[in-house]
A and B are shown apart, each in its own frame.
Chain A
Amino acid sequence: MSSDETTKTETTVETAPSASPKRHRPVLVQMETPNLVPERDLGKMPVLQAEHLGIDFGGLTAVDDFNIAMGRTEISGLIGPNGAGKTTIFNLLTNVYKPTRGTILLDGYDTAGKSVVEVNKMGIARTFQNIRLFNKMTVEENVLVGFGNSMSTHLLTDVFRLPKHWKQEAEFHDKAMDLLGIFNMQGLAQERAGNLPYGAQRRLEILRALATNPKVLLLDEPAAGMNPAETEELMENIEKIRDDFQIAILLIEHDMNFVMGICEVIGVLDYGRIIAKGTPEEIQNDPKVIEAYLGKQGVK
């Protein structure tokens, strides 16, 4: 088992303010590791920044000193053994959990004190590890719920079926179909989401998240339960989504071929701390990562 000394990362220069329980106020700091952002995003402000993020559940520190700076069109991955705190980080970034310490800046704006809905409107969308679709609604309706915040008709306009209602419904029907086209799912539009096969449900969840017009997309195990051919297709599609929508994507995944194949930057999490961060090649050869996955015996 790794002790605190071994888990301390090189990437954090200053000491984490883990001693003070108060959340410190927003400060736009240039991240210590700008070289980790893909070259094309270098000049721009990172779309998502987290500084010294941490959360305690009672006495247990689930996540500690988590730092990230994501380029605007970066695809990065978060890996780590089970229970390392990966999903907890997603929950922190989307404000499902209130961080005990640390700051999250989305496009330069602090998300502290915002509700889950507000954070989504600010530009973070996510999928879930255990699929959470609107099972009794159709595939198209699922996507349309995601579009909800882009739609503007007043309740009475909708209820009395004024012309504006029809115009908007038609417009967003087309948009939904375009979106479903990414995964060639137009034919399933009127199917109930709960009746879809597992892989299609995962894809639909990604589309629903995309419909909310995010700047950052958080994918929690997008390839879980997919066969190698589907995983391959998903990798291409995720890159296509990044290129078409110009968004940053952070994903959690256990499938190493997937992570190594698609991510430009990978962070390895163990016991709630980032133990290594780098390109796929660096991560594969990092002794600390090998230790976290295989135990001390694995290291020569």
Chain B
Amino acid sequence: MTASKATTAQAGTPAASGYRSLSMPMRYLINAILVVVFLVVGELMIDGGVVSRYQTGVIEQIGIYIILAVSLNIATGYLGQLPLGHAGFMSVGGYSCAIFIMRMMDVVGVTARDFVTGSPAAVGLFVIGIIFGGVCAAICGLIIGVPALRLKGDYLAIITLGFAEIIRVVMQNIDGVLGFTLTGGAKGLTGIPSYTNFLNTFIVVAISLFLIHTMMKSRHGRAILSIRDNEIAAESCGVNTTYYKTLAFVASAFFAGVAGGLYAGCIGVMAPAKFGFMKSIEILVMVVLGGMGSMLGSVISATVLTILPEALRAVSDYRMVVYAVVLILVMIFRPEGLLGDYDFSMSRVIERIMNHGKRPEDFAPATTPAVEAVATAVASGAPSATTEKDTGKEASTHE
């Protein structure tokens, strides 16, 4: 009791506001510790056999869908566009990562077993492969984004849908054009080593979320958000809208490619048919359900919507019905998604506990009385006199 009081007094002095806040390195440290704890607990549970092999597979898929949903959220939630071709980027990333790793295995001298045991060469190959997949998808995103982002709304949705189909058809038929086996055509790419496991999926998810978070909380992210909120105003503030739209789109594609790379290693078989229109919709549903513009929302809904079909396997005849009903209910009662655009911040919660549940607003304002006076004056129905005068004047003009 007394100790906490003393620290409060100490911390409160410099700002003269009494609100205790965490420093930036401290915030990152707390989050990093949480991630590591999560990782260690997960790994121990898998090693100890608490989580079955099948469940581990589901957890890996959850991670993959989290990346997919959060990356699509860059384009829908943060940029405010509606692309429908996310599965296309995922397949590009998946194929290129899988092909890269399979071809390089012989060159580097890594066998499929090394991915399980985790030799340094295998880890290096995995990292390069995943990044390679992301970059390939990002290049596709750039090629598609430049023409597509001239359009808005429905038109953008249709054009991205079209491009995703083109990608799918290319994957299916490119072998015939090239004259040698690259993607394996319609029967799919088989024999992909299972280089995805819980450990590396978790790390990739954590890094992806961190990178997307840091991008959005920078001048680049603010520019992207400003385009969503008001494109005309953004332009007039000197935001290069074409550049930032493309940037968001390419970043979205990059992380979809990363997820695709993980997916290939998780499933072991890549077939073009898996990356049809329905896959894009599935990812979009996760974003919309979780709340556009909320990273936590995307994470939660990706988790729930990946577990749900698995959990409902017993009543598999009805699971699509349940799925649809859930969607309809959410759209009726919470059209902005479960979390809207609320975003969770661990450090904010800790700060609140440190300050005994008081809100920052209770401390913050170094408000002079004048500000409050203005604020209250404005709040209490200010726009009376001038507007009335205006309308009166307008009515009398020209006659």
Among A126, A160, A226, contact of B236 (Cβ-Cβ < 8 Å): A126
A97 CB–B CB distance under 8 Å: no
A120 CB–B CB distance under 8 Å: yes
Give residues of chain B (214-242) contacting chain A, Cβ–Cβ below 8 Å.
214-215, 218-220, 222-223, 225-226, 228-230, 232-241
**Is B233's CB under 8 angstroms from A159's CB?**
no
A209-B237 contact in complex given A187-B371, A230-B378, C-beta closer than 8 Å: yes
Among A155, A225, A295, contact of B383 (Cβ-Cβ < 8 Å): A225
**Is B379's CB under 8 angstroms from A120's CB?**
no
Q: How far is the CA of A153 from the CA of B222 in the complex (A)?
A: 13
B37 CB–A CB distance under 8 Å: no
A28 CB–B CB distance under 8 Å: no
The interface residues of chain B, by DSSP majority, are classed as helix
**Is A161's CB under 8 angstroms from B214's CB?**
yes
Q: What number of residue pairs across chains A and B have CB atoms under 8 A from each other?
A: 173
A148-B222 contact in complex given A132-B233, A197-B379, A199-B378, C-beta closer than 8 Å: yes
Interface residues of B (CB under 8 A from A): 24, 211, 214-215, 218-220, 222-223, 225-226, 228-230, 232-241, 247, 293, 341, 360, 364-368, 370-371, 374-375, 377-379, 382-387, 389-390, 393-394, 396-399
Per-residue CB proximity of A137-148 to B under 8 Å, as 1/0? Answer: 100010011111
CB distance from B208 to the nearest CB of A (A): 11
Q: How far is the CA of A287 from the CA of B215 in the complex (A)?
A: 59
**Is A82's CB under 8 angstroms from B394's CB?**
yes
* Closest B residue, CB atoms, query A144: B222
CB distance from B31 to the nearest CB of A (A): 12
Q: How far is the CA of A119 from the CA of B379 in the complex (A)?
A: 35
Measured between beta carbons, the chain A residues less than 8 angstroms from B383 are: 198-199, 224-227
CB distance from B382 to the nearest CB of A (A): 4
A-B contact pairs, 7 of them (CB 8 A): A160-B214, A186-B366, A187-B367, A199-B378, A200-B375, A200-B378, A255-B386
A288 CB–B CB distance under 8 Å: no
Q: How far is the CA of A58 from the CA of B30 in the complex (A)?
A: 62
**Is B364's CB under 8 angstroms from A116's CB?**
no
Q: How far is the CA of A1 from the CA of B397 in the complex (A)?
A: 11
**Is A227's CB under 8 angstroms from B371's CB?**
no
A293-B235 contact in complex given A137-B229, A145-B226, A187-B367, C-beta closer than 8 Å: no
A116-B220 contact in complex given A200-B375, A231-B386, C-beta closer than 8 Å: no
Per-residue CB proximity of A120-137 to B under 8 Å, as 1/0? Answer: 110001101000111111
Among A120, A185, A224, contact of B238 (Cβ-Cβ < 8 Å): A120
Which A-B residue pairs are the 3 nearest by beta carbons? A187-B365, A158-B218, A225-B383
**Is B226's CB under 8 angstroms from A227's CB?**
no
Among B365, B368, B379, B386, contact of A223 (Cβ-Cβ < 8 Å): B386
Give residues of chain A (194-241) contacting chain B, Cβ–Cβ below 8 Å.
197-200, 208-209, 211-212, 223-231, 233
**Is B390's CB under 8 angstroms from A254's CB?**
yes
